[in-house]
Structure 1
Amino acid sequence: MSAAAVAPERAAAIVYEAFGGPEVLQVVEREVGRPAPEQVRVRLRAAGLNPVDYKIRRGASRYSFPLPITAGREFAGVIDAVGEAVEDFAIGDRVFGSIPQGAFSELVLVCADVIARVPDGVPLPVAGGLALAGQTAWDALDSQHLRSGDSILVSAAAGGVGGILCQLAVARGIEVIGTAGEGNHDWLRSIGVEPVLYGEGLLERLRALREHPVTAVFDLHGPDTIRAALEWGVPAERINTNATDPTPFGIRAVGRGAVRPSTLDALAGLVADGILRIPIAAEFPLAEARAAFERLETGHVRGKVVLTAGR
């Protein structure tokens, strides 16, 4: 079915017209047209929630979008139409990817250069929570140019980005210490991470684990980890955060760069090979986006909260 043969179709989407809590989210039906020449149209099957989604919704993010906003930044689904300039994808392909906003919609129009195929055997709910969190973890880890034998500390290690970053590091031969609540310690051990309880007394617990500080720190939680790392003796240029303002600490803020399909392909391949595990903490139908965000915003989520649609 070519783009020209595709009629516009009405689709439900999660939209908000004012900043605030989950209560501002609305289910809105809107018309989604045919893809432009360089686009595909994806029938949504799953879309991952990320902390940046609720920060944008609260008006508390460095990213700024004009209201009204169709929420969501990562998705997976099945292509149902392709633009005439698209050569690498076809109708029926299972794909996943990331866009600036608008992923929480039954139909998603997206440029073909920011998606990748979902390998056989990888469930779409898993793929739906992979693109944004996965490349954020990949790019942050690469920013420190680590080698096998190096060591790192990751805060919020059982979360969406943290869990992926930890597993990528372990696969590269890097020693990983991860902060988390006690309920996630066994899971962290199962993926090769040394768990440590976050909160008051963190520095003393870290020193009890290692005489010398780690090579680098990836903060996904907030200032407490950064302060402990600096006092432990980790150089400021070896501390990366995407959870707080780095300026008062003189550290780095490295998150995801431009979407790269080659990185998405690599991440999906690691999932298909069983090297990378993406736990799904909860699934909610698209229409229950408020409840999904309430679940995510309680904290202490292992892996991803995902919205689902279609069959």
Structure 2
Amino acid sequence: MKAIIYSDNGGPDVLRLVDREPPAPGPGEVRVRVAVSGVNPTDWKTRAGATNPKQFPEVTPHLDGAGVIDATGPGVDAGRVGERVWLFMATAGRPTGTAAEFTVVPANRAIALPDDASFELGASLGVPALTAHRTLTVAEDGPRRLSKGALDGKVVLAAGGAGAVGHAVIQLARWAGATVISTISGPEKARLATAAGAHHVVNYREGDPAAEIRAIAPDGVDIVAEVALGANLALDLAVLRTRGTIATYANDGGKTVELDVRQNMSLNTRFQFLVLYTVGEQALTAGAEDLAAAVGDGALPVGEEHGLPLTSFPLSDTAGAHVAVENGAVGKVLVNVSEDGRLS
């Protein structure tokens, strides 16, 4: 099989296209013929050694993907062979990700993908959608699971709604019944956030964004899904309702945050920091189940017309895909593992 590997941390040039024997699934595992691999910021950061030292002599990157199960290991229902699936956390504690024609994952990390859902959609779920799910299920006064109506009466602020996680926050929150506001930096990103389903968009670089948000939500925002806590904290606190939650999954533009303790005591602010690697299996399982329901309802479409432009690279140019993500490509970057992202 064709696979992308790296043996040393470094820049995109450490990625190599090689031939390897297809892996065999072990107990509790499935082997998946990969059609499309999804690329996330954590993938290039892991390759570069920016997070933790490389754990294995050889690594095939990428946490997310989609394809078809072609073999099962002991303890897994053989009837799953032929099932279309989306994959998540493929390289969490493992050396073999989705940037290969075949990959092996625990059976519970291969989630059924409906026939009418594309492999591009499946490969766009994983990290972004699971992160979005977590931001929406940690509020003190909110639900622990998402479904239609679970967020009725709530107001959600999606910071950076044109990004992959922000896009998923908008779609999931809208599916669950929330009023969704997204902050954006210009007309093009406003268009994408609106296409994703945001009821309101507010340019945080112009006018008085706090006043605009308060006009929409006089009692304040229930949940802020935050991508740049340091840069946006003052705005978040200006619009947060008492006992509201700021769920932050990144701090774009900085590593530290200074808090006014008295202000946050008065608000009873809940801060939830999150990263999928340590969120726990219970949260991952709940997220995957709820995402499967949302996909089944047609609530998570992708593509330019749905607010998430897709940029695809061939497997041989996985390095180019990494460069695109590292340079902040808008939307979702994918790698077509099969020739055209399809499986015949």
Task: Tell me the TM-score normalised to structure 1 length.
Answer: 0.84
**Residues 1:19 and 1:230: Cα distance change in structure 2 (over 3 Å):** farther
- Corresponding residue for residue 228 of structure 1: 235
Shift of 1:215: 1.9
Paired with 1:261 and 1:234, the residues of 2 have a C-alpha distance of: 30
Q: 1:139-192: CA deviations, max 9, x gaps?
A: 221112264222122112122111111111112221221123421212322313
User: 1:262, CA displacement in angstroms?
Assistant: 5.7
Q: Which moved more, 1:89-98 or 1:38-47?
A: 89-98
C-alpha distance 64-165 of structure 1, shift in aligned 2 (>3 A): farther
Question: Structure 1 residue aligned with 2:158, among 154, 163, 170?
Answer: 154
Provide the C-alpha distance between the structure 1 equivalents of 2:90 and 2:74, rounded to a whole number of angstroms. Answer: 23
Contact 1:47 1:75 (8 Å CA) reproduced: yes
Distance 1:19 1:206, change over 3 A: farther
Gaps of 5+ in 1: 1-10
- 2:198 and 2:239 map into 1 onto residues whose CA distance is 23
Q: 1:209 to 1:123 in 2, by over 3 A?
A: same
- After TM superposition, the structure 1 stretch with the greater mean CA deviation from structure 2, 13-22 or 286-295, is 13-22
Match of 1:291 among 304, 311, 320: 320
Q: Which moved more, 1:218-227 or 1:35-44?
A: 218-227
| Paired amino acid for 2:165 | V
Q: Aligned partner of 1:66: which letter?
A: Q
Please tell me the residue identity of whatever aligns with 1:176. Answer: V
- The equivalent residue for 1:309 is 337
Shift of 1:222: 4.7
Conservation of the 8 A alpha-carbon contact between 2:175 and 2:294: no
> Amino acid of the residue matched to residue 107 of structure 1?
F
User: What secondary structure is seen at the aligned counterpart in 2 of 1:142?
Assistant: coil
Q: 1:246-290: CA deviations, max 9, x gaps?
A: 764483202443374564343234234322222342111111111
| Equivalent residue number for residue 253 of structure 1 | 273
1:177 aligned counterpart, secondary structure: strand
For 1:141-290, list aligned pairs within 5 A: 141-144=136-139, 145=142, 147-180=151-184, 181-190=186-195, 191-198=197-204, 200-201=205-206, 204-211=208-215, 212=218, 213-232=220-239, 238-244=245-251, 245=255, 248-249=258-259, 251-256=271-276, 257=279, 258=281, 260=284, 263-279=287-303, 280-290=309-319
Given candidates 101, 105, 127, the residue that maps to 2:122 is 127
Pick aligned residue for 2:80 from 87, 90, 95: 90
Q: Distance in 1 between matches of 2:230 and 2:131?
A: 19
Distance across 1 between alignment mates of 2:232 and 2:294: 29
The reply to whether residue 30 of structure 1 matches residue 25 of structure 2 is no
* Per-residue deviation, 1:127: 0.6
Quote the offset at 1:210 in angstroms. 1.7
Is the alpha carbon distance of 1:65 and 1:173 closer, same or farther for their aligned partners in structure 2, counting shifts above 3 Å? same
Q: Which amino acid aligns with 1:301?
A: V
Alpha-carbon distance in structure 2 between the residues aligned to 1:47 and 1:15: 14
**Cα gap change, 1:154/1:83 in structure 2, threshold over 3 Å: closer, same or farther?**
same
SS at the partner of 1:31? coil
What pairs with 1:39-58 in structure 2 (closer than 5 Å)?
39-58=29-48
Match of 1:140 in 2: 135
Query: Structure 1 pair 262/253, CA: closer, same or farther in 2 (3 Å)?
Result: closer
CA distance in 1, matches of 2:337, 2:120: 10
Contact 1:114 1:260 in 2 (8 A): no
CA contact (8 A) 2:72 2:78 kept: no
Counterpart-to-counterpart distance in 1, 2:99 and 2:80: 22
Q: 1:23 and 1:207 mapped to 2: Cα distance?
A: 47
Partner residue of 1:7?
none
Q: Which amino acid aligns with 2:200?
A: E
**Number of the residue aligned with 2:100:** 105
Tell me the number of residue pairs that the alignment of Structure 1 and Structure 2 aligns: 297
For residue 61 of structure 2, what is the amino acid of its counterpart?
A
SS state at 2:80 partner: coil
Q: Report the secondary structure of 1:116's partner residue.
A: strand
Distance 2:40 2:134 in 1: 16
Q: CA deviation at 1:64?
A: 5.2
Task: Give the CA deviation at 1:71.
Answer: 1.0
Give SS of 2:221's match.
coil
Counterpart of 1:37, as a letter, is P
Q: Distance in 2 between matches of 1:248 and 1:49?
A: 32
Q: Which amino acid is 1:278 matched to?
A: V
Contact 1:95–1:118, Cα closer than 8 Å, also in 2: yes
Please report how far the alpha carbon of residue 201 of structure 1 lies from its aligned counterpart in structure 2 after TM superposition. 4.9
1-side partners of 2:41 and 2:291: how far apart? 20
